[in-house]
Chains A and B, each alone.
Chain A
Amino acid sequence: MIHYFLNRLLQTIPVLFGVIVITFVLMYIIPGDPVVSMVGERYSEETIQHLREEMHLDDPLIVQFFRYVGNVVRGNFGNSFITGEPVAKMIMEKFPNTMMLAVGAMFFAILIGLTAGILTSIRPGSFIDRGIMILALAGISAPVFWVGLILILVVGVMLRWLPPTGFGGIEYLILPALTLGLRSAAYLARLTRATMLDVMSQDYIRTARSKKLTEWKVYLQHAFPNTLIPVITVIGTDFGSYLSGAVLTESIFGWPGIGRLALEAIMKRDFPVIQGTVLFMAIMFVLMNVLVDMLYGVVDPRIRLERSGK
């Protein structure tokens, strides 16, 4: 298992190197100039030239690239062009906020998605099933931006149950987490339902029922665990993307996470912050995928045996 884990980790290195190369090249292809974001309106040409030299922007591209890679290998993501702060510090300041939002979103996604999936699979074609599936379809189709604004207006402004936006205690987390998690919840509901219906037609479920187990035991102990592989895949990849920041949700709710940090950096052409945040997002996403792979083995021992060739 450890050998497999290390092997998977080693496989991520070329992926991350690819991310570094692509991000670096893209930044120099896209139009715009980071110095323009720094100088205001009354700059002189000497100021522009001085700043370019300070930021090594006039060095050959290849020199800039290898300097950057060398720094990253040493754990140095550089300093922001705009604020002068170390990029690693900026990311680490935002990461707990992003993690909080990601965990909250996943909590709602799992709670709503799995509950709805199991409930609808009990009586397929019933009123509850159809109602929930229509809601799930709406949940998948509705843009995050729209869902967020509706929640702000209804829950925050009209009912005044929760603060509309902001950052702080658990009361501030509920609306953005719900907004972010709803789409995953809808997808999980549909996936869980489909997988459960498939599992429920298997022979071992008939066997469980013939042993006169209660219907809930059949569902939760025998059927549900067998739906977990696809569910874990969705949860893992979605969680990975949440950890990479949720630009729209963070913007609507004024949530200071990594997504907004990256967006601001892109708007200002703050190259070190763009490179740092994109690499960080890639690391999070890749790590979540490795973790999901590991969980497959935990949930279904057959997968471990297949990998070890037994």
Chain B
Amino acid sequence: MFGPFRILLLSLLLFGCVKEIDYETLTTAYSADIRGFDPAFATDIRTGKIISLVYDNLVRFDNEMNLVPALAQQWTVDLTGRKYTFIIRNNAHFHDGSQLTVLDIAKSFQRVLDPSTASPQTWLLDRIAGAKDFMNGKENFLRGLKISNDSTLVIELDNPFAPFIQYLAMPATAIINIKDSKSLSQAPSGSGPWKLEKWERDGEIILSKNENYWDKPPKAERMRIRILSEVMTQSAEFEAGSLDILEVPQSEMDYWNKYKYNKLDVDELNIWYVGMNCSRPPFNDVRLRRAMNYAIDREKIIYILLNNAATLANGPIPPQLLNEISEPRYEYNPNRAIRLLQEAGFDKGLHSELFVAGGSGMFHVLEALQSDWEKVGIIIDIKRSDWNVFKTSVREGKPDLYYLDWFADYPDGENFLYPLFHSKESMTKRNRFYDPEIDAIIEKIQQLTNQSERQQLLETANKMVADAAPWVFLWHSKTTYLTQKWISEFQPSSIFNANRYMKITKHPR
């Protein structure tokens, strides 16, 4: 029935279907689609990354995590630490060709705070003077935003707040074309180095370079971000040459090490941890919480299960954000863990549940934790649920123990303290940890503008939190990227929105 001629014909037809490598288009993949192109709703990392490509901010992070000028050519902060003056560049244009003005900047910030926008990101700007009154409808303008002239914007805060300038580099504070803000969710209206060409939801996002960008435009002509939810699918596409960059899960590193792809490791600003509910027994006892830390052989887990792609966490703040390398606080010491358990009255051991969310990729790690705890008499059952149920449970303070990670919003140790351990945040949405001394030091860190003093306080706070042991501090993970041989100048960064794919190129090799 299928003679040799027909088989040959079929093969030719099929061979003809595979496309040649497109050297003008850089192709990468996300595991899920973005939420949309409205900066006011950029609450997840993927959306934040895309927003940083199609929009500009007043300032931004470079690949070394330094804060650098963007739409603001320069800025100054007065001695009180409350007043910021920005000089805005006059050569920036939106993708529709219209000029970006100081008014667009003021209106963009106002829009995030406007109750009718219903943005969940108001926390970034609600320290501007008058923001609370504006949000409550008591005033119809933002008192703390002042346009001095065509190129000067002054922002006044209620109180000094050191991280504020970094907030202005976050996706939600990106500047939109206020004349074209009706359908931002589907069609961005920004001034960034990339323009949206096509968005097939759950399929792909295609961006083309903005030739009229105020800075040097990207070197690649086009970017294609494919939405591939399965890790195996991404790997297959990379192996077939259809993806240029692949983020490799640690569990698959052994497989990829066989091949000669370009490999890049990035020390992420993150921490993996087990949160313990500190507001009720049994984990309101610091001895038990410390025992939980001493019982885990983290070095072994990092070496064997994580392919050495992580560094030990000696507190919540990643080492890149501290001047001094922290002393190891909880070395593996099961005997000490047993002694602490006895002191705390758990001679006969303890039984508890660990809440986790997500796929099977982490289960080998969880089993290792379970096994280490069991050796000192702590029996842990793993309770798995989907992400939404898990987050809701944590928010409601239900779990005694939960396994989670935290990735930096901005490269500042404060970002690993206030949102996680200040009682205002922890008592309402995390592991119910309250320590007035730690609250006070975090508040001081937020206000201080003197960098050396601030850095010392960050180190002190890091040690204090580690001593109080509200978490089992696990590790700061690395991300490994593989790139095809035809890719050069790929520069991933530790902070999620720093890499804007400006220099990356694709050439035949």
Contact = CB atoms under 8 A, between A and B. Distances in A.
Interface of A: 31-34, 36-45, 47, 50-51, 54, 82-85, 90, 93-94, 97, 149, 152-153, 156-157, 160-167, 170-171, 174, 251-257, 260-261, 264, 267-269
28 contacts: A32-B386, A32-B392, A36-B392, A38-B41, A38-B43, A39-B43, A42-B409, A47-B122, A51-B120, A152-B233, A156-B236, A156-B240, A161-B14, A161-B18, A162-B14, A163-B19, A163-B240, A164-B237, A251-B230, A254-B226, A254-B228, A254-B229, A256-B200, A256-B227, A264-B33, A267-B386, A267-B387, A269-B388
Interface of B: 11, 14-15, 17-19, 32-33, 35-36, 41, 43-44, 115, 118, 120-123, 185-186, 200-204, 226-230, 232-233, 236-237, 239-240, 242, 385-389, 391-393, 395, 409, 419, 425, 428-429
A92 B222 CA distance: 28
Contacts of A167: 200, 203-204
B392 A260 contact: no
A260 B229 contact: yes
A32 B14 contact: no
B121 A171 contact: no
B26 to A, nearest CB: 16
A273 to B, nearest CB: 11
B419 A163 contact: no
A264 B240 contact: no
A269 B240 CA distance: 35
Nearest to A253: B233
Given A41-B419, A260-B202, A152 B236 contact: yes
Contacts of B121: 40, 42
A149 B237 CA distance: 12
Given A36-B392, A167-B203, 15 more contacts: A31-B389, A34-B388, A36-B388, A37-B391, A50-B118, A51-B118, A54-B118, A85-B186, A161-B15, A162-B18, A163-B17, A163-B19, A164-B240, A251-B230, A253-B233
A167 to B, nearest CB: 5
B392 A31 contact: yes
A177 to B, nearest CB: 14
Contacts of B43: 38-41
Contacts of A45: 428
A3 B19 CA distance: 52
Contacts of B123: 42-44
Contacts of B240: 156-157, 160, 163-164
Nearest to B233: A165
B203 A164 contact: no
Closest 8 CB pairs of A and B: A40-B43, A171-B17, A256-B203, A256-B202, A32-B388, A161-B14, A39-B120, A254-B228
B32 A264 contact: yes
Nearest to A34: B388
B36 A84 contact: yes
A98 B421 CA distance: 47
Contacts of A268: 388
A166 B236 CA distance: 11
